[in-house]
Amino acid sequence: MRRTTGLVLVLCLSLGAVGCSRLGKRPAPTPPAEPLTPKAPYVAAAEQFFASLNGGDTAAAWGLLTKHFQGLLPQAQFAKDMAGVKVQSATPLAEAASGDAAYVLMSLQATVAEGRPKIAGYTMLLLNQGGTWHIALLLEESRLPGKVDNLSLRPSGQNYVVSFTDEKGHISTNTLRIPSGMEGRAASGTGTLPASGPRCLLSAGLTVPPDGFALW
């Protein structure tokens, strides 16, 4: 019995030594993860607009337009226009903000109704109204620039000017014009966007060359 007890004691001591050895080699602590950059609220609003369209909820998407935009484009007409666009996904390519205004360029994966021009993405101008971001301008893009550098947005009177450098080093400057009243159906813009094709705004049916914008 004494030999057995001694053997058990030796084994216990040996195992204890191994355990102590393992405890002495603790792995290095994992460094804390870098905090995620919070998504800008205007980008979230733009993404929510297309998420609503993707889910077939045109009423929710229309609700994200500014009151002025809604007055120019009634909900029934908006739903009719967007019925020809089936959105699969939308990804923000570029963004810039200036005060209560923001510019977002969205890349779009979508199928369009027969006879409707292909849509590669949308140019969006959003305004902060009462602490909530709403879409004030929505332009279809048939082509998108391959690169957007040095993007900036600045106010110009009642309008906004956006500029950036594309993949070819061309500097593009565009004036986004917002109609001041209900007196007209269209307001033109000026500028150049070499990497982008013709665009139109939903049911406006206005197609303009790459050097201009169209807006109800």
Please indicate, yes or no, if residue 9 is contained in any of the structural domains: no
How many CB atoms neighbour CB 160 within 10 A?
A: 25
Establish how many alpha carbons lie within 13 A of residue 25's alpha carbon, considering only the half-sphere containing its beta carbon. 5
Banded pLDDT at 178 (limits 50, 70, 90): confident
Rounded Cα distance between 65 and 126, Å, is 9
Give me the sheet containing 171-176, strands edge to edge. Answer: 149-156, 159-165, 171-176
pLDDT at residue 64, as a whole number: 97
**147 domain residue, yes or no:** yes
Of the pLDDT bands very low, low, confident and very high (cuts 50, 70, 90), residue 27 is: low
Mean pLDDT value of segment 110-129: 88
User: Would the pTM of this model clear 0.85, i.e. be above it?
Assistant: no
The total domain count for the chain is 1
Q: Is residue 159 part of a domain?
A: yes
Q: Within a domain: residue 151?
A: yes
Domain at 200, CATH number: 3.10.450.50
Q: What is the mean pLDDT of residues 90-101?
A: 94
Comparing 103-107, 115-119, 128-132, which segment has the lowest mean pLDDT? Answer: 115-119
27 assigned to some structural domain: no
Chain segment 28-52, per-residue pLDDT in tens: 666 666 556 788 999 999 999 999 9
Looking at residue 24, its pLDDT comes to 53
Which of 19-23, 62-66, 82-86, 171-175 holds the top average pLDDT? 62-66
Provide the token pair at 95: 């963004």
Structural domain of 52: 41-215
